[in-house]
């Protein structure tokens, strides 16, 4: 099992970019570190800023990594396959060689073992003569041993030992056997000497040999080879060899001790120069070793590597060319789009971009041209709205009116360029002062147009009406003709002050109630009563309401619902109570000062955010 440990290292130059390193720890304590290549490239060269750099990082880098991975996996797979094939071939050759040698040893060993078990006589003599006639037998020597203290010995089975004399009798193989006859005092030994050349001399001429380079090792690691048999390239000493080092011989002996057949590369390189194959003989304590040229065996592997590298380089170069070509076209179009967008941001609407393509880039240019046209229309509409807002502000009356008895001040703050609220301060030659405030449903151009219509109707009717109720009724009938199909409507609050008396008259048509504040008593009175918004029902009858003002100074506040319904960041409403508290605190000031205090409090309450509804306020003081 491998244990996974993740490290996060922060770059000193770019602390915002962590390098994630994964460490795999093997059971033997070996550590393998894996890095994120994208992060390393970004740390070395910085973040990609252009499309070409992003293409190289996010497309070419994974492709190159995939090609390298495939090359490594393919290299190891083919190497394993070739080594397995070489092992099978080597084992096959070693098997045939071993069979040849073991066949040459098996008959002498069998006859020698039979000879040592026979009593002296004709059979024993026949076996000895048969052994001497075997090809390659140099000498058969039988010896009788008489012990110094004669005593009967039990009969023992004979054991044939095979060993090689490289410096004796021109490289010979000696077979020894000791035995004792039953109830006999003397013991006997037999020694058979066989020519090593005759034993293996015909191997190089075998059709399966094909010029292989081989040698044999005995149990002590000595190299066995006759002087005149070209089985291997020999050095001056028969126990050393220039083609196997002491280290490799030690490694080979260790492998031989664990398995009777196998292969061993001469080094740990992926393409070793020499590969050894070995097989231990059954009839002798020797091991056949074949020396193979690693370069020739792994030549297909090297061919595959160079072919793969060449193909990978060609594929990478082709990908670079195609990606660069594609990126150049995309970058050219992107630059044109960026330049055109920059001109659009400065208000220059040039001719549309031309790109005769049916792919995604062509669709992008078409969409951009369509957006440019819509943007141009939007800019024109925006200019029209701004102009309409300026005209609307011009339609509003002067914000201040003041004489010896009345003081009035009003303000209207639209939430958009154009608003649906309006107010009016209308002095009359008959000694009256009319205060009007209205709120058209909705926002924008439509509300502004309906607001202008309502204000014009009120101004045209108020001069000729007998009372406020008839004035509002007439305006309602006229406005209904314009709003019947659209369903729009407008609220209205109209109030009249007379210089000759202290009577206060008003009509409320669905609008917020006005507030009457008595400065001497410090009390508020709501001017509400019932009333329906304008433009909904043409047959509705409006009522004029009145109240007698006691002597003293009074203050009247009329506002739209955008003031009381205003919410802050916590969802809390501004409310009428807060409005009354401001009026109480600043009641002794002028109407303009009171209105400025209210507007400042509204701005603070909303945290300088743009209101969601129009805000309109009119304040009048009666002295």
| pLDDT tens readout for residues 262-273 | 878 877 776 677
Please name the residues in contact with 140: beta carbons below 8 A apart, sequence gap of 6 or more. 128, 131, 132, 190, 191, 192, 193
What are the tokens at 604?
A: 């603070």
* CA quadruple 593, 598, 601, 602: dihedral sign: negative
* CA quadruple 520, 522, 523, 526: dihedral sign: positive
Lowest mean pLDDT among 193-197, 358-362, 486-490, 576-580: 358-362
Task: Give the whole-angstrom CA distance, residue 287 versus residue 579.
Answer: 112
Residue 22 has pLDDT above 70, yes or no: no
Please name the residues in contact with 373: beta carbons below 8 A apart, sequence gap of 6 or more. 352
Region for 262 from its dihedrals, namely left if φ exceeds 0, alpha if ψ lies in -120 to 50, beta otherwise: left
Task: Give the whole-angstrom CA distance, residue 556 versus residue 513.
Answer: 11
Instruction: Please report the DSSP string for 336-357 in residue order.
Output: HHHHHHHHHHTT---PPP----
Please name the residues in contact with 467: beta carbons below 8 A apart, sequence gap of 6 or more. 505, 544
Reported as a pLDDT band with limits 50, 70 and 90, residue 156 is very low
Residue 28 has pLDDT above 60, yes or no: no
Q: Please give the average per-residue pLDDT across 425-453, as a whole number.
A: 84
What are the tokens at 374?
A: 């819509």
Q: What is the arrangement of strands in the sheet containing 274-280, beginning at the earlier edge strand?
A: 223-224, 213-218, 286-293, 274-280, 261-265
Q: Phi first, then psi: what are they for 199, rounded to 5°?
A: -70, -40
Q: Hey, what domains does the chain have and what are their CATH numbers?
A: 1-47 (no CATH), 78-297 (no CATH), 299-394 (no CATH), 396-622 (3.60.40.10)
Task: Give the whole-angstrom CA distance, residue 512 versus residue 509.
Answer: 9
Query: Please, are residues 493 and 511 in contact by the beta-carbon 8 Å criterion?
Result: yes
> In terms of pLDDT, which residue wins out, 30 or 515?
515
Q: Specify which residues 289 forms β-bridges with.
A: 215, 278
Reported as a pLDDT band with limits 50, 70 and 90, residue 236 is very low
Query: What percent of the chain lies above the pLDDT cut of 90?
Result: 18
E strands along 356-489, which residues?
Answer: 400-402, 406-413, 421-428, 432-440
Query: Please, are residues 504 and 428 in contact by the beta-carbon 8 Å criterion?
Result: no
The pLDDT score that the predictor gives to residue 594 is 93
Give the chain's largest Cα–Cα span: 175
> In terms of pLDDT, which residue wins out, 364 or 241?
364
Q: What is the arrangement of strands in the sheet containing 514-518, beginning at the earlier edge strand?
A: 400-402, 406-413, 615-622, 554-559, 514-518, 523-527
Task: Give the whole-angstrom CA distance, residue 82 versus residue 79.
Answer: 5
Task: Give the whole-angstrom CA distance, residue 430 versus residue 487.
Answer: 37
Residue 622 has pLDDT above 70, yes or no: yes
Q: Spell out the long-range contacts of 302-311 with Cβ–Cβ below 8 A and sequence spacing 24 or more.
A: 302/271, 304/74, 304/75, 304/78, 305/71, 305/75, 308/71, 308/74, 309/71
> In terms of pLDDT, which residue wins out, 453 or 170?
453
Query: Please, are residues 210 and 92 in contact by the beta-carbon 8 Å criterion?
Result: no
Query: Please, are residues 616 and 599 in contact by the beta-carbon 8 Å criterion?
Result: no
Q: Please give the average per-residue pLDDT across 222-244, as a whole number.
A: 48
Residue 51 has pLDDT above 70, yes or no: no
What are the tokens at 519?
A: 């400065």
Lowest mean pLDDT among 195-199, 204-208, 440-444: 204-208
Cα–Cα distances (Å) from 380 to 156, 256, 374, 376, in that order, read: 124, 94, 10, 6
Q: Please give the average per-residue pLDDT across 266-282, as a whole number.
A: 77
């Amino acid at each position: 099992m491998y244990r996974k440990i993740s490290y996060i290292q922060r770059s000193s130059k770019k602390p915002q970019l962590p390098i994630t390193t994964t460490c795999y720890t093997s059971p033997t304590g070996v550590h393998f570190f894996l890095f994120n290549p994208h992060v390393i490239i970004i740390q070395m060269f910085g973040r990609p800023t252009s499309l070409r750099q992003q293409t190289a990082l996010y497309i070419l880098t994974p492709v190159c990594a995939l090609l390298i991975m495939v090359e490594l996996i393919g290299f190891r797979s083919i190497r394993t396959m070739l080594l397995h094939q070489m092992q099978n071939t080597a084992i096959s050759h070693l098997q045939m060689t071993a069979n040849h040698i073991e066949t040459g040893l098996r008959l002498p060993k069998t006859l020698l073992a039979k000879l040592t078990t026979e009593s002296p006589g004709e059979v024993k003599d026949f076996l000895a003569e048969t052994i001497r006639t075997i090809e390659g037998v140099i000498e058969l020597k039988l010896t009788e041993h008489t012990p110094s203290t004669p005593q009967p010995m039990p009969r023992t089975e004979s054991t044939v030992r095979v060993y090689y004399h490289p410096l004796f009798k021109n490289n010979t193989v000696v077979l020894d056997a000791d035995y004792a006859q039953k109830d006999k005092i003397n013991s006997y030994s037999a020694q058979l000497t066989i020519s090593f050349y005759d034993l293996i001399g015909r191997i190089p001429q075998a059709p399966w040999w094909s010029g292989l380079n081989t040698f044999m090792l005995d149990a002590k690691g000595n190299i066995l080879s006759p002087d005149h048999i070209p089985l291997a390239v020999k050095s001056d000493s028969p126990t050393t060899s220039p083609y196997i080092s002491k280290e490799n011989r030690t490694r080979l002996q260790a492998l031989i001790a664990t398995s009777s057949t196998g292969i061993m590369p001469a080094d740990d390189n992926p393409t070793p120069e020499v590969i050894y194959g070995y097989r231990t003989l059954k009839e002798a304590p020797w091991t056949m070793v074949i020396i193979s040229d690693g370069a020739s065996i792994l030549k297909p592997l090297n061919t595959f590597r160079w072919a793969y590298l060449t193909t990978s380089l060609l594929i990478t170069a082709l990908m670079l060319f195609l990606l660069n070509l594609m990126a150049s076209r995309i970058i050219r179009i992107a630059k044109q789009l960026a330049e055109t967008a920059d001109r659009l941001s400065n208000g220059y609407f040039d001719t549309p971009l031309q790109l005769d393509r049916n792919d995604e880039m062509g669709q992008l240019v078409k969409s951009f041209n369509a957006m440019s046209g819509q943007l141009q229309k939007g800019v024109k509409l925006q200019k029209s709205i701004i102009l309409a807002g300026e005209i609307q502000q011009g339609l509003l009356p002067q914000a201040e009116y003041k004489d010896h008895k009345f003081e009035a001040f009003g303000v209207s703050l639209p939430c958009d360029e154009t608003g649906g609220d309006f107010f009016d301060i209308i002095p009359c030659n008959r000694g009256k002062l009319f205060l009007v405030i209205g709120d058209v449903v909705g926002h924008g151009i439509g509300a502004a147009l309906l607001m202008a219509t309502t204000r014009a109707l009120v101004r045209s009717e108020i001069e000729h009406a007998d009372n406020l109720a008839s004035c509002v009724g007439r305006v309602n009938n006229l406005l209904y003709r314009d709003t019947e199909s659209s369903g729009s409507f407008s609220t209205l609050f109209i109030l009249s002050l007379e210089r000759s008396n202290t009577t206060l008259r008003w009509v409320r048509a669905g609008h917020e109630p006005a507030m009457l504040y008595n400065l001497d008593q410090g009390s508020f009175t709501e001017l509400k009563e019932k009333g329906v918004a304008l433009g909904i029902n043409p047959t509705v009858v409006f009522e004029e309401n009145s109240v007698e003002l006691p002597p003293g100074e009074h203050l009247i506040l009329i506002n739209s619902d955008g003031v009381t319904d205003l919410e802050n960041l916590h969802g809390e409403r501004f409310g009428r109570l807060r409005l009354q508290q401001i009026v109480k605190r600043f009641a002794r000031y002028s109407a303009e000062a009171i209105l400025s205090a209210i507007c400042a409090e509204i701005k603070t309450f909303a945290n300088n955010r743009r209101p969601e509804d129009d805000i309109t306020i009119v304040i009048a003081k009666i002295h």
